[in-house]
Every structure is written in structure tokens, then in C-alpha cells.
């Protein structure tokens, strides 16, 4: 059974089609693996085994009837715990939603279910997706499979660690300022943030609505592309969803990939973001990005350095816009309609005190910090100076990308300025933690697609991430360039040295 763990989507589907294995056996192997290793990794907030057993039974019935298998038939998938799966907890790793059971299903979860996926469980995260290390969870700290003393990144650290450790073939994360790509870099997997609006946010618990986007995590670009094809598309239940992005043709990103890397990138114009290969980025990471640029050049791409001059403002702009939107979005957690209600110490008729007690006990320190920052930025007399000004600079950042993409097809940079850092290393220094997302935030502000893929090993033999960014709706181009890199290197095939296999 252990030989079923660590397989790709195509490998597992081939075994299913040949009737060499059943969906129930694939599920059993992965659940056994989770039971053996999640006590060390702590990737999951809850398992959804009952749901997965029903899904596996449906897949096995299709096989028995000789019917064609959907795209993710029999594939174990983990879901970040800010994405609703009906009748299971959606906690956002927060005390304030600790006992909340989702009454409905997110659109992406519906699409995964229809594609035959097996829901292994919900994954740990930074509370309300606010963090870069998954240390802000109210329940547990997730470890990096490459080194259990280090963070997996965040906020989608549970999803990423589950994939990196082999406990799931695919996982869903959300990316507001790098929360898919940065942990993908730290854990040596592929993680994609699609174009804003390409994937429905219906059923995603909002952090910053103009920035949030759901995306897939997998061990290869090919599996990432298959997953994105399943979850992408217009959704009338999401007002930010792009109308008909595929012109009535279902997305099939994996069909655009090729085993001939030169075919995928020859003639493409690749820009290296100069602001992200200099001061503040670890030298070994800069070397890995320059080596990646040389790979693309060898494949026939034209590589040049480019500048995004306003990107130096991306971090403060993000922490004004994101916190302001969080302040508004999290105002609903007041103890009235759902979630925690804390009345201890409150007068019987004091609703204001109930609000205060509930939010004080229910929210963690980082969430409170961001709510206060956002509330201040939106307050009377400060709105124009902070939030409005941040939105204006956001437009300048988007203009920089627009100008660069007139002469480039994709841009490359490090995903993170460092490799995975030690657990508790940055918890007392919020600014240092915020700087972990310096390379990923600009794409969220501009609504652009981006992917992080493994590009080598750095200090202490920990993964380095290569970020590839594309213009609006050029997700396919981003995937093709990333796949070409993986066809030309073996970094994505390198396994972490830590975990033993299940006996």
C-alpha cells in the first residue's frame, strides 16, 4: 500500500484505469500515512474520512461500470481550513470559529468533488490567513517536512506541508500576499496563485477581498495545471469572478504542456526583476535565480533584467489595503450570529461588552494587530492619507507591470528572500516576518498569476523557490514556462530527507 504514496495524478489514474488498485485502497494508503506522520507535521486541523470514503466508493462504482474517470478521480486532496466543506469545521485556525460547521460548500470544493477527488482533511493555517509561518494558528504549529524545527511558511502551511510530506497529492490554499507561493518555496513544491477572478472565492472566508485568491499546490507543475483546470472558471455566486475567461471552452491547462521544454519557451522574453535579486535577498538564492535564468536562456528564451520601480512600496501598500479590508471583513465576528460568544464578565444587557469579550478572547494577537491597523487606516481624518493613498500607489505598481509586459512574456524572481526559518525565530519581530512576503505581494496588488517552483537547495539543504509571474490571464504561459524548467531540471523530484515510509 505504501507504494501508492508519493505518486502523481497521472500515475494513480493509470493504476485505477488498469484496475490494479481501487480508489478505496488509494485512500487507505494515504490515511495510514497521515496517521503515521501527522503527529510530527501537524498539517491537519481535522480529517474528513467519512466524506472521502463516500467519494472513493463513487469512483470505484464508475470503474466497475467501465465509465470514463473525471480529472481527479481517486486523488487525495487536502483543503485549507478557510475554504468551506459542507458539514465539516471551517475554523480558519481561530478560536472564534472553533466550533463552526460549514452549512454549505465552497465552489472550488464542489468542483473537486465533481472531478472525483477524495477529501483527506482540512489543513492548519495562520489564523484567518494572517501570517507567513503557520505559527499564528490558535491550535497548533505546523512543521516543515524538510526540517521539523523549521516553519513550512504561511499562511497555507498545513496544505503545503501535507503535499510535501506525501499525505495528499494535491491541496488547496489561498493567496492574499503570497500565502500559496511562499510556503511552496519553503517546502519544495509547486504552488500557484491564479489571475485574480479566475477561481471563484465563493465559500472562502474573506481576509482581504480585493487580494484573496484560491489556488492549487502539488509536487509538480503538471499536477498543478490539472488541478487549476478543475477549479478555474466563472462563478455567478462570486461578484469578482471573471466572466467567461475561457470563451466557453473549459480550461485544460495541462493540455498546453509538452515534454519538449524548448517548444514551450523558445522565443519567449523572460525578465528578471532586478529589485528582487539584490540587497536583502540571500546570496545563494540570488545565485539560484540567476542559474534558472541561464536554463531559460539555454532553452531559447531571451533573458533581460527589468525594473519595477514602485515595487519598493508594495509592502506598506499591502499592509494598509489588506488590513483595512480585514477590519471590515472581520467585523462580522461579534458573537451574535455564529462562532464564539463570550459573555463571562459582561452585564446581562451589555451587548457592547459581549462584543468586546468575544473578540478579545476569540482573536489571536496577529489578527488583533491587523484589525487595529486597518481600523486606524479607515478612520475619519486618516482615510485619504492612508487607505486612499495606498490604492493610488497600488495603481502605480500595476502600471509598472503593464509597462514591463509590453516587452516581456514572463518575469522571474526569488519567491522568498530566505529559505525556511526556525520555528519561533521571527514571532517577536512582526516586521521581519512581514518581509518574508516582499517578493510575492506585488502580484497580489496587481491581480497577476504567479507560481513558485523548486529551484535548488540552499542553506542547510533547504528548498529555494523560483517565482514566475505572468500578465493578466496568462496563467497558461506561466504554467508552460514552469513546466519547461521542471523538464530541464530535477529539483522538483528531490525529496525531503526526514520522514520514514510507512511499514
Catalytic one of 13, 42, 80, 426:
80
Catalytic one of 93, 179, 241, 327:
179
Residue 387 · residue 321 · CB < 8 Å: yes
Alpha carbon distance 143, 158 (integer Å): 8
Catalytic one of 93, 155, 241, 413:
155
Per DSSP, the three-state class of 47 is strand
Alpha carbon distance 158, 74 (integer Å): 21
What would the DSSP string read from start to end of 176-213? Answer: SSSTTHHHHHHHT-EEEEPPTTSB--TTBPPSSTTT--
Alpha carbon distance 324, 1 (integer Å): 49
The residue among 448, 368, 424, 502 whose CA lies nearest residue 151 is 424
Instruction: Answer yes or no: 80 catalytic.
Output: yes
Alpha carbon distance 12, 222 (integer Å): 14
Alpha carbon distance 215, 207 (integer Å): 15
Grid coordinates in use for 32? 495510514
Angle at the Cα of 189 from the Cα atoms of 6 and 214, rounded to 5 degrees:
110
| C-alpha neighbours within 13 Å on the C-beta side of residue 489 | 26
Q: CA Rg, the chain, in Å?
A: 22
Beta bridge partners of 122: 46, 79
The phi and psi torsions of 76 (rounded to 5 degrees) equal: -70, 130
CB neighbours of residue 98 within 10 Å: 16
Grid coordinates in use for 353? 461588552
Active centre residues (catalytic): 80, 155, 179
Amino acid at each position: 500500500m505504501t507504494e501508492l504514496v508519493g505518486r502523481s495524478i497521472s500515475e494513480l489514474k493509470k493504476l485505477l484505469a488498469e484496475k490494479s488498485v481501487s480508489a478505496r485502497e488509494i485512500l487507505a494508503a494515504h490515511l495510514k500515512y497521515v496517521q503515521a506522520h501527522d503527529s510530527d507535521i501537524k498539517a491537519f486541523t481535522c480529517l474528513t474520512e467519512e466524506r472521502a470514503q463516500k467519494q472513493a466508493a463513487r469512483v470505484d462504482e464508475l470503474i466497475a461500470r467501465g465509465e470514463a474517470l473525471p480529472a481527479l478521480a481517486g486523488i487525495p486532496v487536502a483543503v485549507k481550513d478557510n475554504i468551506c466543506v459542507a458539514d465539516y469545521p471551517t475554523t480558519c485556525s481561530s478560536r472564534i470559529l472553533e466550533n463552526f460547521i460549514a452549512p454549505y460548500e465552497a465552489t472550488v470544493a464542489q468542483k473537486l468533488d465533481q472531478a472525483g477527488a477524495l477529501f483527506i482533511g482540512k489543513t492548519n493555517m495562520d489564523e484567518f490567513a494572517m501570517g507567513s509561518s503557520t505559527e499564528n494558528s490558535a491550535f497548533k504549529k505546523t512543521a516543515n517536512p524538510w526540517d521539523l524545527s523549521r516553519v513550512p511558511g504561511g499562511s497555507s502551511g498545513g496544505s503545503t506541508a501535507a503535499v510535501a510530506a506525501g499525505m495528499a497529492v494535491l491541496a488547496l490554499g489561498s493567496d492574499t500576499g503570497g500565502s500559496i507561493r511562499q510556503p511552496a518555496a519553503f517546502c519544495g513544491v509547486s504552488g500557484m496563485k491564479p489571475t485574480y477572478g479566475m477561481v471563484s472565492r465563493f465559500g472562502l472566508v474573506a481576509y482581504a477581498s480585493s487580494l484573496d485568491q484560491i489556488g492549487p499546490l502539488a509536487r509538480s507543475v503538471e499536477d498543478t495545471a490539472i488541478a487549476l483546470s478543475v477549479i478555474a472558471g466563472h462563478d455567478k455566486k462570486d461578484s469578482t469572478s471573471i466572466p467567461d475567461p475561457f470563451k466557453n471552452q473549459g480550461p485544460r491547462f495541462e493540455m498546453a504542456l509538452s515534454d519538449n521544454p524548448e517548444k514551450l519557451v523558445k522565443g519567449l522574453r523572460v525578465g528578471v526583476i532586478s529589485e528582487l535579486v539584490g540587497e536583502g535577498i540571500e546570496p545563494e538564492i540570488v545565485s539560484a535565480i540567476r542559474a534558472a535564468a541561464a536554463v531559460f536562456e539555454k532553452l531559447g528564451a531571451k533573458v533581460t533584467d527589468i525594473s519595477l520601480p514602485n515595487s519598493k512600496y508594495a509592502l506598506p501598500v499591502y499592509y494598509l489595503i489588506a488590513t483595512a479590508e480585514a477590519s471590515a471583513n472581520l467585523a462580522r465576528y461579534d458573537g451574535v450570529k455564529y462562532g464564539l460568544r463570550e459573555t463571562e464578565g459582561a452585564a446581562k444587557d451589555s451587548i457592547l461588552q459581549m462584543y468586546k469579550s468575544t473578540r478579545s478572547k476569540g482573536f489571536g494577537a496577529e489578527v488583533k494587530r491587523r484589525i487595529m491597523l486597518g481600523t486606524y487606516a479607515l478612520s475619519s481624518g486618516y482615510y485619504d492619507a492612508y487607505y486612499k493613498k495606498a490604492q493610488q500607489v497600488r495603481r502605480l505598481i500595476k502600471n509598472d507591470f503593464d509597462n514591463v509586459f509590453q516587452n516581456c512574456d514572463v518575469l522571474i524572481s526569488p519567491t522568498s528572500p530566505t529559505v525556511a526559518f526556525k520555528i519561533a525565530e521571527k514571532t517577536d519581530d512582526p516586521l521581519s516576518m512581514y518581509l518574508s512576503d516582499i517578493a510575492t505581494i506585488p502580484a497580489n496588488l496587481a491581480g497577476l498569476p504567479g507560481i513558485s517552483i523548486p529551484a535548488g537547495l540552499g542553506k542547510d539543504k533547504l528548498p529555494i523557490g523560483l517565482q514566475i509571474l505572468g500578465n493578466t490571464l496568462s496563467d497558461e504561459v506561466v504554467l508552460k514556462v514552469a513546466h519547461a524548467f521542471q523538464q530541464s531540471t530535477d529539483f522538483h523530484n528531490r525529496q525531503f530527507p526526514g520522514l520514514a515510509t510507512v511499514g
